[in-house]
Amino acid sequence: MTFSTRAANWTWTYILRPFLQILLFVLGSAALMSVIAVIVSLIFRTPASRGATLEIDLFEQLLKQLPDTLIDGITIGFLYAVIALGYTMVYGVLKFINFAHSEIFMVGGVIGFEVMIRLRDGSLLTTFPPVLLVILMIVAAMAFSGTLAVVIERFAYRPLRNAPRLVPLISAIGISLFLQDAVRALEGLGRNQFNLAYPTDSVPFLTQRLPIGPTVTISVTAIIIVISAIIMVLGLNYFVNATKIGKGIRAVSQDQATASLMGIDVNQMIAITFLVGGALGGAAGVLFGLKAGNISPFSGFIPGLKAFTAAVLGGIGNITGALLGGILLGLIEAFFSSLLPFFPSFGTSYSDIFAFMILILILIFRPTGLLGQRVDEKV
Amino acid sequence: MLLEVRGVIKKFGGLTAVQNVEYTQEARTICTIIGPNGAGKTTFFNILTGIYKPDGGSVTFGGKNMVGLRPDQINAAGISRTFQNIRLFNSMSVLENIMVGMHSRLRINLFDTIIRTPRFNHQEESVRRKVGDILDFVNLSDKSNEIARNLPYGDQRRLEIGRALASDPKLILLDEPTAGMNPQESVEAMALFRRVRDELGITVLLIEHDMRVVMGISDRITVLDYGQKIAEGSPDEVRREPRVIEAYLGRGSQTDAL
Amino acid sequence: MTVQQTINAPPDNLLRRYGILAAVIIFVAAMFLILITMDNSLTFSPLWTALAFPALAISPFLILRLNVSRQIKAFLILIMLLILMPVLGVHDSFYFTLATQIGIFAAMALGLNIVVGFAGLLDLGYVAFFAVGAYLWGIFTSQTDNYIHAIGLTAPAWMFYVFLFLAVIVAAFAGILLGLPVLRLRGDYLAIVTLGFGEMIRILFKNLDHPVNITNGTLGLDGLASPPLPPFIGSITDWLVTTFKLEVGNPQVLAYQLFFYLLVLAICGAAILVAGRLDDSPIGRAWTAIREDETAALAMGVPLVRMKLLAFAMGASFAGAMGVVFAAKFKSLTPDAFDFNQSIFILAIVIVGGMGSIRGVLLGAIVVSLLNLQILQSLSSLINNLKNQNAVIPVINFAFKDWPNQLAVENYQRFVFGILLIVIVLFRPAGILPASRRKTELEDRDDVPPDLTEIPPDMSLTESGGDGHAA
């Protein structure tokens, strides 16, 4: 095999094929959700509110908002997907729900904020190249969150590995509470506040919106989120499927005892899993901060829960599943929040209930998720 | 016929673990299922006890259909079992393990439990009496307050049998009950199985690898291989059956025992 | 010489035995005197109360460990609960409220202990059942305008006792409703689903001001009815006020405080009795069996789903009853009082005290509630006092006026609970006062290879026999 065909093969296996798969997921989910939304809007074409009929054609409204809704849904979806990868990797290896992952994600967001605010305080923010800035923020957050996840695993989970299943979960809840208040105390002491607003105003590039059609625009942050997420997913795919360490991790997730007999250092593989999952969570924190414009010690909880829902929706333990679940959940949420305002008797405040309802419904009717496989217990 | 199994099938994905197995057993007999590892013996037990739902076929016990019943319902109907890898309630005492075994024979009533009605106290008393009898039967009366996980291996095996006896079964399924025992212990175990049949009138179905036990105790032997029944009959008949010899010899395992 | 050693001491060693008894009584009396003579204007008084009240509150557990007859123990504890605490409460109503809250949390924790400790099902949305009970009373008696009000379905105050009973049933029913679909899930999935369920109930109460106004949404309900006082409570307080010439602004308020304290005490007593009897019964044994090995329990004839539902319903009913008491005592409700943190708080009580151990859960309720409601607050006010006086720590030269406002100690409950949970789980997984069974299960884990401790993976064994789970 010549070098060029090998390179072509490599590109196909690790870049083009997974990329096409992501594209397929995104387009497929978007098309599916659009069709459902169109049907709903045709059924409730004139939504009624407290007896009076509103002068809106829901179908028309939907069509008008469709591009924005899709862009929004896909953006949130990628964000959920990146967080969900952290849950799913740890679950795949340890069969354990890392409840503290939402706080690892939050810490990433805070690190991103710190990088940005320190550059601003040094008056560098306006002159710093924006793309480099985003990369710097993400890398810093990945390094910090990844390390944090490894430290947590070492001290709070590893000693409990053979304990009954619920025990490490309680430890994780403890870590989660601890991290929330620790970050609050640190930021409160340093900055006298803990609701941290990203100084995006100083970087005009980040607040821009680019036109992609006659009436449709897309924000630069959305583009950043989607591109970074795709890069991370491709990187993870390569890491897990092509590298020696990735193979080790997969072996450990299949059977710890056998893997260790084969000379794989199980503890090391688990630590690396936490490192990678935590780093992805940290990166997602920065992306979330850029999108939402701020982060607080308590912003991790709800996105974390939703990302977990995404992981379960796709089939927990399954990396592709996390991606699919994230995108689907993001789109579902975007459609809910674009349609609910037209039903004033319910209102948008009910939208959070739907995320939980989806979680509960999947767990009841298809606990293995969309891409999970069934495994029977050996008795 | 106490137990009648007709054409049961169980598939796991592409693998057919149990294939069209026919099986019948008379009351008050001791029968054994043998076969190489992975022949589908434990899967067969799991079908009988409702842990797996068969993909086809019927299981009739005492004239009643068992397919589709939950394991606890099947236990209440009179089939009890032990597990290949002992599954005791490890942090409970010997006494409590056997008490749990009686669950399906008890009247569980929230009101009685909270108020401690005479009916409740009376039942608890009879439970304790019966547990005493069972402990005597499996020879564990001097260890009734020990924690199950602290018992030596042989005692754990006997406790598991005692727990299975607690539900007053008509049929007891023992999954490799003498695994890991030395010859002396195996002989004692065989005596215990006979007493289960003769003194308690309970029908016994074993999965067993130790050929001394199999040949020494069984009224009938059934041989499974690759999920199929390849032979059946008295110990002597099975010993001479060419397909059995082939199934074992062909893989070069356990030949000396036959 | 510790209390533990007295238990092992020879029985004829009377001097030593009663010496310890006397020491404990003197200790309790001393704590009581400190509290009752405390001058609250002193700088360090928050510190003394933060030490003395917890010491007094946990003293029943010292008494329980004494090597004396049960009658003496019961007598001492009753004196504590029925005389010392009420006197302290009359002296300073803060202690009445505190003791009542501890009691409310203790009864709830006893309920959660049935689910988590006995049956081994982790419930992270337990506060939902508390909310159900509280809103049941709120919706039907609040003076805030709501739909129920509008259609004239308000309940008179005397219905309190009926509602107490009703809440037990409604909450138990809610428990079954939640349990029915989710109990086939494996442990950790179940935990997340119950979390989602808890949040859903909260969001629902938060948003049920539209389409029809039932809960008045975010603003919550106000002016809830108080139950009518039993006459003897009034007589007791009147007697107290006249005999001791107390300067009480409104005897009615005092009477209500005493009433709720005694009511909560009685409900706690009932909860202890019910939980204890359930534990020591075929039901409790079946729960333990399920917790240890679902497959084996099922094969031994334990109907998994029914027993798990029973655990959920029993646990929920305790919280439902306490919800009604809570609503009637504090007379107003907001949905955010029932968030995830509350569920974690109750869970922390169970974990810290000892899963499955009734005594442990009671001790946990005292320790964790006091930490939450009193100790952190007292430390905060101590720091404030020191700040106001420009106090300085001599050696390191730290001036208290430099203590940052962001570090108000009372706001850092999560920090404290987080560390508490981690430390307990790592170093004393069976809790402060472990249940004997749980101790073997949670602490002897090093000698077991991992695959044997694995809880059977899934729900495939419950109803249909083969759902399977993700790889």
Task: Quick: pLDDT tens for C263-319.
Answer: 999 999 999 999 999 999 999 999 999 999 999 999 999 999 999 999 999 999 999
Handedness of CA B190, B195, B201, B202 (dihedral sign): negative
Which residue in the set C302, C441, C461 is minimally distant from B51, CB to CB?
C461
Contacts with B42 from chain A: Cβ below 8 Å: 379
pLDDT in tens, C319-334: 999 999 999 999 999 9
Q: Decide if pLDDT at C392 tops 50.
A: yes
pLDDT band at C441 (very low <50, low <70, confident <90, very high): low
Q: Nearest C-alpha of chain B: how many angstroms from C171?
A: 16
pLDDT of residue A48: 55
Name C219's Cβ contacts closer than 8 Å, sequence gap at least 6: C144, C209, C334
Q: Decide if pLDDT at C454 tops 60.
A: no
Q: Decide if pLDDT at C199 tops 50.
A: yes
Q: Nearest C-alpha of chain A: how many angstroms from C42?
A: 29
Q: Nearest C-alpha of chain C: how many angstroms from B186?
A: 24
Q: Which residue has the higher pLDDT, C112 or A54?
A: C112
Q: Decide if pLDDT at C41 tops 90.
A: no
pLDDT in tens, A116-171: 999 988 888 888 888 999 999 999 999 999 999 999 999 999 999 888 778 898 99
Can you tell me whether residue A126 is helix, strand or coil?
coil
pLDDT of residue A41: 81
Contacts with A318 from chain C: Cβ below 8 Å: 470-471
Distance CA A298, CA A302 (A): 9
**Is A379–B42 a contact, with Cβ atoms under 8 angstroms apart?**
yes
**Is A379–B12 a contact, with Cβ atoms under 8 angstroms apart?**
no
pLDDT band at C465 (very low <50, low <70, confident <90, very high): very low
Q: Decide if pLDDT at C106 tops 60.
A: yes
pLDDT of residue C11: 55
pLDDT of residue C446: 44
A325 and A314 in contact (C-beta within 8 Å)?
yes
pLDDT of residue B70: 94
Phi and psi, residue A229, nearest 5°: -60, -45
pLDDT band at C440 (very low <50, low <70, confident <90, very high): low
Q: Which residue has the higher pLDDT, C165 or B245?
A: C165
Q: Decide if pLDDT at C466 tops 60.
A: no
In this structure, of A264-273, B26-35, C4-13, the range with the lowest mean pLDDT score is C4-13
Contacts with A376 from chain B: Cβ below 8 Å: 12, 52
Q: Decide if pLDDT at B115 tops 70.
A: yes
In terms of DSSP bridges, do strands B79-81 and A48-49 run parallel, antiparallel, or are they unpaired? Answer: unpaired
Q: Which residue has the higher pLDDT, B36 or C457?
A: B36
pLDDT band at C450 (very low <50, low <70, confident <90, very high): very low
Distance CA A121, CA A98 (A): 35
Q: Provide the percentage of residues in chain B whose pLDDT is more than 90.
A: 82
Q: Which of residues 357-376 of A touch B (CB under 8 A)?
A: 376
Can you tell me whether residue B222 is helix, strand or coil?
strand
**Is C469–A368 a contact, with Cβ atoms under 8 angstroms apart?**
yes
Q: Which residue has the higher pLDDT, B192 or A59?
A: B192
Distance CA B248, CA B242 (A): 10
Q: Provide the percentage of residues in chain C whose pLDDT is more than 70.
A: 90
**Is C301–B101 a contact, with Cβ atoms under 8 angstroms apart?**
yes
Q: Which of residues 258-287 of A touch C (CB under 8 A)?
A: none
pLDDT of residue C461: 31
pLDDT average, residue stretch C184-198 = 81
pLDDT of residue B103: 95
| Nearest chain B residue to C440, by CA | B91
Q: Decide if pLDDT at B257 tops 70.
A: no
Chain B neighbors (3+ CB pairs < 8 Å): A, C
pTM of this structure: 0.89
**Is B101–C461 a contact, with Cβ atoms under 8 angstroms apart?**
no
Q: Decide if pLDDT at A14 tops 70.
A: yes
In terms of DSSP bridges, do strands B3-12 and B56-61 run parallel, antiparallel, or are they unpaired? Answer: antiparallel
pLDDT band at A9 (very low <50, low <70, confident <90, very high): confident
Q: Decide if pLDDT at C8 tops 70.
A: no
Distance CA A249, CA A373 (A): 19
pLDDT band at C460 (very low <50, low <70, confident <90, very high): very low
pLDDT band at A53 (very low <50, low <70, confident <90, very high): low
Q: Decide if pLDDT at C245 tops 90.
A: no
Distance CA B44, CA B51 (A): 10
In this structure, of A219-233, C149-163, C396-410, the range with the lowest mean pLDDT score is C396-410
Q: Decide if pLDDT at A273 tops 70.
A: yes
Q: Does C269 touch chain B (CB under 8 A)?
A: no
pLDDT of residue A307: 92
